[in-house]
Amino acid sequence: MNQTQLLERGRKLLPWVAGGVLLAIMTGPQGRVGQPAYSISQALHPGHLFESIAITVVVGVIAQLWAARPAQVRESITQLRSESSRFYARREVRYGVYAALLAFAIVLPHIVGAYWQEVLVDKIGIFALLAVGLNVVVGFAGLLDLGYIAFYAIGAYVAAYFTGALPVQPPFILNDFYILFFAVAAAMIAGLILGAPTLRLRGDYLAIVTLGFGEIITILAVNLDSVTNGSRGAPGITSFSFHVFGINYDWGLSQTPYYYLLLVFAVVIMVAFHLLENSRVGRAWTAIREDEVAAQACGIPPVKYKLMAFAIGASTSGFAGVLYAAKISFINPSSFTVLFSILVLVLVIFGGMGSLIGPIVGAAAIQWFFAYVQKHDGAPIPGIGVKIPIHPEDIYLYVGAVLIIMMIFRPQGIIPSRRRAREIGLAEHGIGGADATGAPVGSPVS
């Protein structure tokens, strides 16, 4: 290798060095209001800076070697990939994988400790359900909903209302199982009211209107004191219970029963969405994503189908809201901030938008990681002795970074839907849109 080649190689590593500096800043100590320079100066301490740059440069070198891999390696990888995807495409293999995952999910709460049982329900289970719903909006219909948690809040407050936990008393107290219907209806109606005026316009307006709506819902929850009890919240929401044929069962406040309840609901909803995806409706969504004008010309009303996806997503969120409220038994507006909407989005994007198990895997992986960070705040990982330099307060820093990195390097997610991955590839070659948000960036609006 001659000198110019070496220089060229070195120049290509510069962005990775810059990335290392950024990593050093991101993993530095928490800032202090009185001393604005404190965090940066500590983060750029030579030892820490050198470590961070070393990490990113090693990653950069590996990436370069990978990009320059010999043709033979390249070929065998392509072959391996096509073989494995052919293997996975066989129905019995795919159902085998699903069955194994389900079996794993069933035994999981019995092999983990109390802390992780709680994480499994409150963080992973509920958010997996939310991610499955948002996947209909983002993955199936190709729209962006940034106020998704607002519908979750609506569901939770409907649950609080019908169990008599709010200052306004309901005409009748209901069992949580019946409340699910009301919550789904309420969230769906809210979705229709919000979506109907917005979806007629360019799809990206939906993103900002939902972002605003997410903020407004928290403001309403705080300020409508006489209805929602304001920021004091609504305590005493009754848990799920079951009284049929003399069998009485109450889910109470314990983790494992709720875990199984969530698992049953999640599986039912996933099967339903899978069937929906392969139905006439799902095909209409695909057609709209790939080419909205052509779809319209073929007699598919885009607004109607987009609205349908948005409303289905909203109602799933409302559904999850009831489960959350009943499980926690206490809700207040701070449980429903816009932050959570973006968290659910990152679960879907990381897992793979449009794929069946992608959102579940994304929810499990990311929420597990954050829960792990929270539990071991600053302590070394047992067995390895290395500290994770991530502070629990910085979680949304990494949420944002993951969104950007995924969009740049792997927009289809870690477990991509094959159709969605192909659409994104085609869109990058100028064929089709791969989303339902209107014309691609950089082309005139008209």
Partner 1 sequence: MCFTSNFWSLTIDGLNNGFLYALIALGYTLVYGVLQLINFAHSEVFMSGAFGGLLLTQALIGSSNPTGLTAAGYVALGTLMGALVGAIVAFMLERVAYRPLRQRHAPRLAFLITAIGASYFLFSLAGHLFGRDVYPAPDLLSHKNLFSIGSRGIQAYDLLVAGSAIGMLILLDRIVAHTRLGQGIRAVAQDAETASLLGVNIDRVISQTFIIGGLLGGAAGFLFCLVNNVGYTMGFVPGLKAFTAAVLGGIGNIRGAVLGGIALGLVENWGVTCVRNSWRDVIAFAILVLILMFRPTGLLGERLGRSA
Site for partner 1, residues 390 to 409, rule: CB under 8 A:
391, 393-394, 396-397, 399-404, 406-408
Q: Pick between residue 148 and residue 258 the one whose CB is nearest to partner 1.
A: 148
Residue ranges in 411-440 that form contacts with partner 1 under rule CB under 8 A: 411, 424, 427-430, 433-435, 437-440
Distance CA 385, CA 103 (A): 32
Q: Pick between residue 200 and residue 232 the one whose CB is nearest to partner 1.
A: 200
Whether 298 and 159 have beta carbons less than 8 Å apart is answered as no
Q: Which stretch binds partner 1 (CB under 8 A): 158-166, 194-202, 235-243, 365-373?
A: 194-202
Residue ranges in 322-341 that form contacts with partner 1 under rule CB under 8 A: 338
Question: CB neighbours of 12 closer than 8 A, spacing ≥ 6?
Answer: 60, 64
Q: Which of 191, 135, 140 is nearest to 346 (CA)?
A: 135
Residue ranges in 39-58 that form contacts with partner 1 under rule CB under 8 A: 39-40
Distance CA 344, CA 359 (A): 9
Shortest distance, position 219 Cβ to partner 1, whole Å: 6
Beta bridge partners of 262: none
Quote the DSSP letter at residue 334.
Answer: G
Locus of tokens 């005139």: 444
Q: Pick between residue 37 and residue 247 the one whose CB is nearest to partner 1.
A: 37
Using CA atoms, how far residue 78 sits from 70, 322, 408, 421, in Å, is 13, 46, 22, 16
Residue ranges in 120-139 that form contacts with partner 1 under rule CB under 8 A: 138
Distance CA 119, CA 364 (A): 10
**What mask of x and - would describe binding to partner 1 in positions 341 to 360, judged by CB under 8 A?**
-x--xx--x-----------
Using CA atoms, how far residue 321 sits from 171, 180, 277, in Å, is 21, 9, 24
Buried b or exposed e, range 35-44, using 16+ CB within 10 angstroms: eeeeeeeebe
Shortest distance, position 288 Cβ to partner 1, whole Å: 13
Distance CA 413, CA 396 (A): 19
Report if residue 374 touches partner 1, rule: CB under 8 A: no
Report if residue 443 touches partner 1, rule: CB under 8 A: yes
Please classify residue 393 by burial: count the beta carbons closer than 10 Å to its beta carbon, then call 0-12 exposed, 13-18 middle and 19+ buried: exposed
Report if residue 191 touches partner 1, rule: CB under 8 A: no
Shortest distance, position 39 Cβ to partner 1, whole Å: 5
Q: Pick between residue 107 and residue 441 the one whose CB is nearest to partner 1.
A: 441
Locus of tokens 């499990």: 364
Q: Show the tokens assigned to 377.
A: 């705040």
**What mask of x and - would describe binding to partner 1 in positions 73 to 112, judged by CB under 8 A?**
----------------------------------------
Q: Pick between residue 26 and residue 108 the one whose CB is nearest to partner 1.
A: 26
**Which amino acid would we find at residue 41?**
S
The dihedrals phi and psi of 234, each to the nearest 5 degrees, come to -115, 105
Report if residue 366 touches partner 1, rule: CB under 8 A: no
Distance CA 211, CA 209 (A): 5
Q: Pick between residue 105 and residue 353 the one whose CB is nearest to partner 1.
A: 353
Report if residue 146 touches partner 1, rule: CB under 8 A: yes
Q: Show the tokens assigned to 98.
A: 């699903």
Q: Pick between residue 166 and residue 434 the one whose CB is nearest to partner 1.
A: 434
Q: Pick between residue 146 and residue 158 the one whose CB is nearest to partner 1.
A: 146
**What mask of x and - would describe binding to partner 1 in positions 1 to 40, judged by CB under 8 A?**
------------------------xx-x-xxxxx-x--xx
Q: Pick between residue 43 and residue 356 the one whose CB is nearest to partner 1.
A: 43
Residue ranges in 197-256 that form contacts with partner 1 under rule CB under 8 A: 197-198, 200-201, 203-205, 207-209, 211-213, 215-216, 219-220, 222-223
Distance CA 277, CA 422 (A): 17
